[in-house]
Amino acid sequence: METVNRNKLKIKDIITVVLLALINVVLFFASSLLYATPITIILMPVFFALLEGIVYFIIGTKVKKLGAILIYSIVRAILGGYLPYIILFILSGAITELLLWKIGYGSAKALTIGYIINQVLAAFGSTIIPYAIAASAMADQAVTDGRQDTILDASKLLQSWVSVALAIGVIVAALIGALIGKRIVKKHLTV
Amino acid sequence: MIDFEFEFQYSEESTPTLRKVSGNIPAGRCVVLCGGSGCGKSTLLRCINGLIPQFYEGELTGFCRLDGQDTAGMSIGEIGELAASVFQDPRSQFFTVNSSNEVAFGLENHGLPQEKIRDRVDEAFRTFHLEHLKNRNVYELSSGERQLISILSAWAMDTDIFLLDEPTANLDFAATQQLKNILLELKKQGKTLLLSEHRLYYLADIADEYWIMANGEIKHKYTAEEAKALLPLQLHTLCLRTLDLEQITVSERPPQTENMPQALSVSNLRYEYGRKNRAILSDVNFSVCEHEIVGLVGANGCGKTTLGKLIAGLYRSKGGEISLFGKAQKPKQLQKQVLFIMQEAEFQFFTNSALHELQYGHKITAEFEKKTETLLKSMDMWECRDRHPFSLSGGQMQRLTLMMAYLSDKPIVILDEPTAGQDAESLKRCAKLIREMGKEKTVLIITHDLELIADACDRCIGLSGGHADTEFFIRAQQDLQAVRRYMECFHPTTASPPRQYNERFHPATKLLCWLVLTIVISTSNNHLVYAAYAALMLLTAADGRLITALIGSASFGLLWTANALLPDTLFSFMLVLFPRIIAVGISMMTLIGRNEASRTLTALRNMHLPERFIMIVAVIFRFFPVLSGDMKLLRQSIRTRGAFVTLWQKFRTLPSYIEILTVPMALRVIRIAETLSASAETRGIDLKRRKSNFLSLRFSAWDVLFIIMLTASVVVGLIL
């Protein structure tokens, strides 16, 4: 009998990644009250960018294997239940996998860049696109009802500088989230 | 027959965990591995069932023959066809959400024909007289019942060998008795049993031999007769717990506390669970004096933990009063004065070392440092003071939480099952610390452990039928035996048979509905969304979820009305967004709720999707509700430890708050993942065979009707 050591994703790795991803899903659902108002919806991506880095970094450090971040992204995306969000989240996972393959599995640099891309794309999928759709749907309704000015203004506003400001806010928050994630991994997984 | 010889060292360890252990267990015999925590019992079982070295990596030498077959070169799943494994934590070894599906899980992985799987599952429940546990949601089962299901799952694999790793670690008195009956039945069937255990009293009529392990070696092998003849002192030296409950003696204790003032008084306390208002505690009355140590005993599910959490201010009662030191208290006030130590130790660790955990929330003075050092040494934990709490064994984690309680400034402490899974030596240490704790605090212990009651409690209160109905002062041997007789009267709760649902729709129809909704809600066409929403509500109602459908429809109606009355306000926005969010939630519920998770998985397998994908979906279905519940436990733990009390505190120390909210969960799920995947691998999840299905699914007229209606809704939505 001998020592067994494989670098392929094992059943244990897959289950670990899925369960860790579920923590971020649970946090997402627990914070769904933020969907209650138009203002808090805009703040959601910033809030999640701060929060989700811990689990992301734990996965990237604990399961240093091809496919771990992609599985995380698929689980996290599908439970979001919204098509643009699902597509963009999975896309971000694929990009991070490429980065990790190129730079090295477990690399903090690759995970930080991947996490920022992940959060920016998620912000588009979860907030900017649905907000734009909502605004457009409201505008359609308003046109039917013969009133349109205020809503169309709001829609234009979001599609212009607010989106840019939100994207910058998410990048900053994701960077802080990644730093928190990195610190936590160092503190709890490398002692 | 089991024949083995091993030497093993884990990759991350510097010394071997097993040093030349060998043994031979003839067919039909039962051997119990015992010894202190960390002596190598579980490692030996892992070497036999193949988890070492394929799952737990390290350097293994030696051989293992099961029923004459050499296991070298076999996969874990193939070894599982010769020896079935049962693990110690019934909370995390299940892969499905339904008891019958769980029993069928291994057989599906082995690709048995559906008829054969059904017969075997029926036979398993029938043979052990556990038909009442058939087709039950695993969340509705007690720990004991879940452990019985895990044994049935092992039995269904039709092996001659059973390997059980501390099967009673999380069981109460009655469930242990039930487990004993099952083991007796297995022995009658001629099965070979190898168990690792700390709790030994229930094995008196089952075990043929006791193998005592220490430092990775089998030091002694006793026959059952020889073991029975061991004196209490010899048992203690060998780190063994009692083999006969009649032998337990009450330890010497300080003078009684009858004239002490009251610390805690509970009067007419009432609590109900859930929407159906099921009264768990109907009229509880009792009091506890200052510095008294009181045991709270009762059957599983009788409300002991609920009562403890009510006293700790973690739940809000539905009536009655809780007073501390003569003054009625509100939940927030109770939280400040009562510490609740949970059975689930992992939720209570916020830092990265055992020492930091003890220091958390305290002012670190030289005197405090000295106190923690003495404490750690007395609990045999000094050597692991710098280890991460999550790297400790289950028993060490529990001892750490006990030390946290000892150092707490709160005058009242409630301990929930503090000695589950402790060896004899550790049990003595825990009891001693609790007695020390009693000098400064009032202690309430929720327990099933008679040995702990003998060593630590002044009095026991029996909880039954929602009342505190009995009281025992623990002064002499006969008092202890009276508690034992009371505990023996507990019968495992036989819940009313689960409601049978008439599933009208094929899960594939619901998957189609979910898919259509996912696409539709991404468009800006309101009419299309509303039409699909209406179709979903009709499906939900026809599926027997009338209340959900009514709530969904009423929410939409209210938003519509509000928008009509107050156009161009927040309601316009909510009318566009909310139906989309509600639709996603309800469609997910139709796929997962009740017994649908198992049916949906069967449908996915029928679609010939990759097994890895189905496994991921299965884990999501099984654990999403578990993690939501765990999040609640974590918040309770934060509250009872007095951390982050106000919103401002949470905001001011946001990174720390995020860390404490996330890290214990993450580290816990890493442990769950280990147990779950080990359990699944021994039952053949990784076997390269075509898997079969336990459930059969058929399309009905309802499916056709709904698909026509869904298509019509989409067309109407597009036209409008």
Is the model more confident about B113 or about B642?
B113
Q: What's the pLDDT at A150? A: 52
Q: Tell if the CB–CB gap between A25 and B631 is shorter than 8 Å.
A: no
Q: What is the dihedral of CA B598, B602, B605, B611, to 10 degrees?
A: 20
Window A:132-191, CB contacts with B under 8 Å: 133-134, 136-138, 140-142, 145, 147, 150-151, 180, 184, 187-188, 191
Amino acid at B76: I
Q: Is residue B255 part of a domain?
A: no
Task: Report yes or no: A83 at the B interface, CB cutoff 8 Å.
Answer: yes
Q: Residue A158 — pLDDT band, cuts 50, 70, 90?
A: low
Q: Cis ω on the peptide bond leading into residue B53 (within 30° of 0)? A: yes
Judge whether residue B10 has pLDDT over 90.
yes
Judge whether residue B647 has pLDDT over 70.
yes
What is the ipTM metric for this complex? 0.88
- Alpha helical stretches, state H, B164-301: 173-188, 224-228, 232-237
Question: Of B250-259, B413-422, B653-662, B682-691, which gets the smallest average pLDDT?
Answer: B250-259
Angle, helices B526-542 vs B570-592, to 10°: value is 40
Q: Tell if the CB–CB gap between A2 and B60 is shorter than 8 Å.
A: yes
> Rg of chain A's alpha carbons, rounded to an integer?
19
Q: Tell if the CB–CB gap between B677 and A133 is shorter than 8 Å.
A: no
Residue percentage of chain A with pLDDT more than 70: 81
> Rg of chain B's alpha carbons, rounded to an integer?
28
The phi, psi pair for B327, rounded to 5°, reads: -125, 130
Judge whether residue B276 has pLDDT over 60.
no
Q: Is residue B16 part of a domain?
A: yes
Q: Is residue B299 part of a domain?
A: yes
Q: Which CATH number goes with the domain that contains B459?
A: 3.40.50.300
Is B320 in the same domain as B222?
no
Residue B677 is nearest to which of A15, A129, A180, comparing CB atoms? A15
What's the distance, Cα to Cα, between the start and end of chain B in Å?
73
Q: Is residue B499 part of a domain?
A: no
* E strand segments, A22-113: none
Q: What's the pLDDT at A139? A: 67
Question: Of B363-367, B435-439, B654-658, which gets the smallest average pLDDT?
Answer: B654-658
Q: Tell me the sheet residues that pair with B83.
A: B161
Is B214 in the same domain as B295?
no
Q: What average pLDDT does this structure show over B176-202? A: 92
Mean pLDDT over the full length of chain A: 84
Is B78 in the same domain as B6?
yes
Q: Tell if the CB–CB gap between B522 and A62 is shorter than 8 Å.
A: no
**Considering the entire predicted model, what is its pTM?**
0.89
The 10s digit of each residue's pLDDT in B511-520 is 999 999 988 8
Judge whether residue A173 has pLDDT over 70.
yes
Q: What's the pLDDT at B169? A: 80
Q: What's the pLDDT at B465? A: 86
Question: Of A37-51, A113-127, B372-386, which gets the smallest average pLDDT?
Answer: A37-51
Is B124 in the same domain as B240?
yes
How many other C-beta atoms lie within 10 A of the C-beta of residue B591?
Answer: 18
Is B302 in the same domain as B179?
no
Question: Of B69-83, B305-319, B412-426, which gets the smallest average pLDDT?
Answer: B412-426
Domain boundary among B247, B281, B312: B247
From A129's Cα to the closest Cα of chain B, the distance in A is 9
Mean pLDDT over the full length of chain B: 90
Q: What average pLDDT does this structure show over A98-111? A: 95
Q: Which range has the top average pLDDT, B238-242, B492-496, B509-513, B580-584?
A: B509-513
Judge whether residue B383 has pLDDT over 70.
yes
Judge whether residue B391 has pLDDT over 60.
yes
The 10s digit of each residue's pLDDT in B539-563 is 999 988 899 999 999 999 998 899 8
Amino acid at B184: L
Q: Residue A4 — pLDDT band, cuts 50, 70, 90?
A: very low
Is B96 in the same domain as B135?
yes
Q: Tell if the CB–CB gap between B673 and A16 is shorter than 8 Å.
A: yes
Q: Tell if the CB–CB gap between B72 and A151 is shorter than 8 Å.
A: no
Q: Tell if the CB–CB gap between B352 and A74 is shorter than 8 Å.
A: no
The 10s digit of each residue's pLDDT in B683-699 is 999 898 888 999 999 99
Helix, strand, coil percentages, rounded to 5, for chain A: 85, 0, 15
How many other C-beta atoms lie within 10 A of the C-beta of residue B714?
Answer: 17
State how far the Cα of B264 lies from the Cα of A106, in Å rounded to an integer. Answer: 52
Q: Residue A1 — pLDDT band, cuts 50, 70, 90?
A: very low
Q: Residue B274 — pLDDT band, cuts 50, 70, 90?
A: low
Q: What's the pLDDT at A53? A: 95
Q: Which residues of A touch B629 (CB under 8 A)?
A: none
Window A:32-61, CB contacts with B under 8 Å: 32, 35, 37-38, 41, 50-51, 54-55, 58
Q: Is residue B498 part of a domain?
A: no
Q: Residue B494 — pLDDT band, cuts 50, 70, 90?
A: low
Q: What average pLDDT does this structure show over B161-181? A: 87
Q: Please give the residue range of the domain that contains residue B663.
A: 507-719
Judge whether residue A67 has pLDDT over 80.
yes
Domain boundary among B435, B460, B488: B488
Residue B667 is nearest to which of A35, A130, A188, comparing CB atoms? A188
Q: Tell if the CB–CB gap between A54 and B353 is shorter than 8 Å.
A: no
Is the model more confident about B214 or about A152?
B214
Question: Of B134-138, B205-209, B428-432, B567-571, which gets the smallest average pLDDT?
Answer: B567-571
The phi, psi pair for A130, rounded to 5°, reads: -60, -35
Q: What's the pLDDT at B631? A: 86
State how far the Cα of B251 lies from the Cα of B432, in Å rounded to an integer. Answer: 10
Q: Residue B179: which of B156, B153, B145, B136 has the closest Cα?
A: B145
Domain boundary among B196, B223, B247: B247
Joined together, the tokens standing for residue A77 give 């995306």
Q: What average pLDDT does this structure show over B527-532? A: 88
Q: Is residue B500 part of a domain?
A: no
Task: Report yes or no: A74 at the B interface, CB cutoff 8 Å.
Answer: yes
Q: Residue A159 — pLDDT band, cuts 50, 70, 90?
A: low
* Domains held by chain B: number: 3
Q: What's the pLDDT at B267? A: 95
Q: Tell if the CB–CB gap between A20 and B666 is shorter than 8 Å.
A: yes
Is B480 in the same domain as B583?
no
Is B608 in the same domain as B554?
yes
| Angstrom distances, CA of residue A169 to CA of A22, A27, A165, B392, B530 | 25, 20, 6, 40, 34
Is B46 in the same domain as B189?
yes
Name the residue in chain B with its Cα closest to that of A24: B662
Q: What's the pLDDT at A138? A: 64
Q: Is residue B495 part of a domain?
A: no
Q: Tell if the CB–CB gap between B352 and A191 is shorter than 8 Å.
A: yes
Residue A19 is nearest to which of B655, B669, B678, comparing CB atoms? B669
Q: What's the pLDDT at B600? A: 93
Q: Is residue B690 part of a domain?
A: yes
Q: Residue B414 — pLDDT band, cuts 50, 70, 90?
A: very high
Q: What's the pLDDT at A149? A: 53
State how far the Cα of A185 lies from the Cα of B245, in Å rounded to an integer. Answer: 47
The 10s digit of each residue's pLDDT in B61-101 is 999 999 999 999 999 999 999 999 999 887 788 888 889 99
* CA B154 to centroid of chain Cα atoms: 18
Is B267 in the same domain as B225?
no
Is B165 in the same domain as B80?
yes
SS3 B720: coil
Judge whether residue A2 has pLDDT over 50.
no
Burial B456-483 (b: 16+ CB within 10 A, else e): bbbbbbbbbebbbeeebebeeeebbebb
Pairing verdict, β B442-446 and B293-298: parallel
Q: Tell if the CB–CB gap between B570 and A38 is shorter than 8 Å.
A: yes
- Alpha helical stretches, state H, B566-595: 570-592
Is B179 in the same domain as B88?
yes
Q: Residue A164 — pLDDT band, cuts 50, 70, 90?
A: confident
Name the residue in chain A with its Cα closest to that of B680: A11
* DSSP assignment of B77-107: HHHTTTEEEE-S-TTTS--SSBHHHHHHHHH
